């Protein structure tokens, strides 16, 4: 394991800690070929002296092989950093903003591409320790006290950016900084930090996000490892170690998760002691930490086995979202919205199906907990009871609307092939697990336009490599693109609408030439 802290950069193996470099560091992002990007700073962490920098290290067998400083003039209070492979993303916690650089083919930052990104819905504001009554105005203090979130952790899954905010709204009373006890929140953004939705955690002063399929793991101030479950929308305790009986705030931070074990750093409430915790096979092993300060980050040295290795195979996205507006597909939007408004005024009945016992979903929640038998036959669809299933509007027995025919005439004239001919998902309905490999067309991709008023509709897919189930929130007037794969590597997927409003989707079978025609980029990366 590689560990960052404000005491130094360490290698940890078999209860043995080796100091690699005596620096004050925090954020760390691991790349292939033993490359690490690590944030470090000079001076004091609570001083906005712009002495923060990022260095590129090659670390192999407990030794720094190569070191190069690549980014300077960062705030000392930078916390975590991450990457999309094409960019390096730096979370300036104490400034409440993000800095982004492009990366070249050798994974070096292109400094001429520096972008200062605002976090949508949250204004830039300084940590209160950076405010000086002699320099800053009352409005500056008021802005910080109302809006400062202390974003401390960042991760990416399926091109969604997850930011963890303890929401530390420190106020200054009689010259003394006093922290509130607000509960933490996960805020979810697109890759350009446009806000999408949020997840309340109901826990205090959390750190260290790691996403593994439907679970978002994090650490609380009371020495707890917990996770948020997309399926039941609840938080669950994995372990608490050490036991925190007094509810005194501890810094529990640095989280590494593999399929074999979980590592994190923790402290004791009643004594000056830092520990490294290994949780494996329901067994806790505690190792003494060599640090005088808290661990900041932990990551495995084996690239790709750790779920916080953003560029590893476990984190590779296999479904992409694109805004419909700005593409040729926008020509269909007016028609679809007209159909949507017409549907809103109608009570469209479900079409009853003939069932064979044992092949159908009994409860809607079964989508979230699929049995292994579902995935044994890639050419077989998981069927649902008619009252829980989506409705196929085209050629519906009782639904007739001229606009539908006009829409599909337009599609045919443009040379597109509609495969999912306008599906209606009423509240509390879905579409069972399937691969589309049983279709008779020659299109290797599926593209679904989604028009939804539902705040709780999701596209689910089983990651072909990690085998974890990923949850992708639907976005109105966006389309979902995925590659079907092949029998040995299919893209199992499903849809669920848990919201109170309707979801409409229109699906196309497309190939590479049509994707280029539609000017959708990045699709080469999802081929499997």
Average pLDDT over residues 144-148: 89
Residue 492: pLDDT above 60? yes
Cα–Cα distances in angstroms (integers) from residue 458 to residues 327, 419, 461, in the given order: 23, 20, 10
Give the Cα separation of 443 and 473 in Å (integer): 25
Residues of the chain with CATH 2.60.120: 320-526
Residue 408: pLDDT above 60? yes
pLDDT band at 87 (very low <50, low <70, confident <90, very high): very high
Residues of the chain with CATH 2.120.10.30: 2-315
Higher pLDDT, 440 or 311: 311
Which CATH number applies to 2-315? 2.120.10.30
Looking at domain 320-526, its CATH class is: mainly beta
pLDDT tens-digit series, residues 449-481? 999 999 999 999 999 999 999 999 999 999 999
pLDDT tens-digit series, residues 289-330? 877 788 999 999 999 999 999 999 999 999 999 999 988 899
Angle 160-192-296 from CA coordinates, rounded to 5°: 65
User: What is the pLDDT at residue 203?
Assistant: 92
pLDDT band at 73 (very low <50, low <70, confident <90, very high): very high
Average pLDDT over residues 86-97: 97
User: What is the pLDDT at residue 173?
Assistant: 65
* End-to-end CA, the chain: 30
In 220-294 the beta strands, taken as DSSP E runs, fall at 224-229, 234-240, 253-257, 262-267, 274-280, 283-288
By percentage, how much of the chain surpasses pLDDT 90? 66
Give the Cα separation of 31 and 374 in Å (integer): 35
Average pLDDT over residues 430-438: 94
């Amino acid at each position: 394991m590689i560990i960052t802290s404000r005491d130094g950069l360490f290698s940890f193996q078999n209860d043995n800690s080796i100091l690699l470099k005596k620096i004050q560091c925090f954020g760390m992002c691991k790349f292939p070929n033993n490359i690490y990007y690590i944030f470090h700073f000079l001076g004091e962490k609570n001083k906005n002296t712009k002495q923060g920098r990022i260095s590129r290290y090659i670390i192999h067998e407990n030794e720094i092989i190569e070191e190069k400083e690549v980014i300077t003039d960062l705030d000392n209070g930078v916390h975590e950093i991450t990457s999309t492979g094409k960019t390096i993303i730096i979370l300036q916690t104490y400034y409440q903003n993000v800095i982004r650089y492009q990366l070249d083919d050798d994974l070096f930052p292109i400094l001429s591409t520096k972008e200062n990104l605002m976090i949508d819905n949250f204004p830039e504001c300084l940590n209160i320790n950076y405010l000086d009554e002699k320099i800053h105005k009352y409005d500056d203090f008021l802005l910080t006290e109302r809006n400062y979130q202390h974003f401390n952790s960042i991760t990416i899954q399926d091109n969604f950016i997850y930011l963890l905010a303890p929401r530390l709204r420190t106020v200054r009373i009689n010259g003394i900084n006093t922290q509130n006890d607000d509960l933490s929140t996960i805020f979810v953004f697109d890759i350009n930090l446009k806000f999408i939705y949020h997840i309340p955690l109901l826990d205090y002063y959390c750190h260290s996000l790691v996403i593994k399929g439907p679970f978002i793991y994090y650490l609380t101030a009371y020495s707890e490892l917990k996770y948020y479950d997309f399926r039941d929308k609840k938080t669950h305790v994995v372990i608490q170690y050490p036991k925190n009986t007094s509810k005194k705030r501890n810094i529990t931070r640095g989280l590494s998760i593999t399929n074999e074990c979980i590592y994190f750093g923790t402290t004791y409430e009643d004594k000056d002691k830092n520990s490294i915790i290994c949780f494996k096979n329901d067994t806790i092993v505690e190792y003494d930490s060599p640090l005088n300060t808290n661990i900041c980050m932990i990551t495995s040295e084996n690239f790709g086995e750790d779920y916080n290795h953003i560029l590893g195979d476990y984190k590779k996205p296999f479904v992409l979202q694109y805004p419909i507006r700005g593409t040729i597909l926008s020509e269909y939007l007016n028609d679809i919205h007209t159909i949507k408004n017409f549907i809103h005024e109608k009570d469209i009945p479900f079409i009853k199906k003939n069932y064979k016992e044992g092949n159908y979903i009994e409860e809607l929640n079964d989508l979230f907990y699929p049995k292994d038998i579902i995935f044994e036959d890639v050419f077989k669809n998981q069927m649902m009871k008619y009252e829980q299933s989506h409705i196929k509007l085209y050629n519906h027995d009782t639904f007739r609307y001229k606009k539908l025919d006009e829409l599909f005439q337009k599609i045919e004239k443009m040379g597109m092939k509609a495969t999912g001919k306008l599906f209606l998902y009423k509240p509390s309905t879905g579409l069972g697990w399937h691969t589309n490999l049983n279709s008779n067309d020659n299109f290797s991709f599926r593209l679904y336009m989604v028009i939804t008023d539902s705040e709780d509709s999701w596209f689910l897919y089983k990651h072909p490599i990690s085998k974890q189930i990923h949850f992708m929130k639907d976005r109105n007037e966006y389309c979902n693109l995925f590659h079907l794969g092949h029998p040995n590597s299919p893209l199992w997927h499903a849809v669920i609408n848990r919201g109170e409003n309707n979801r409409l989707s229109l699906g196309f079978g497309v190939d590479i030439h049509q994707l280029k025609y539609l000017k959708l980029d990045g699709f080469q990366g999802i081929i499997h």
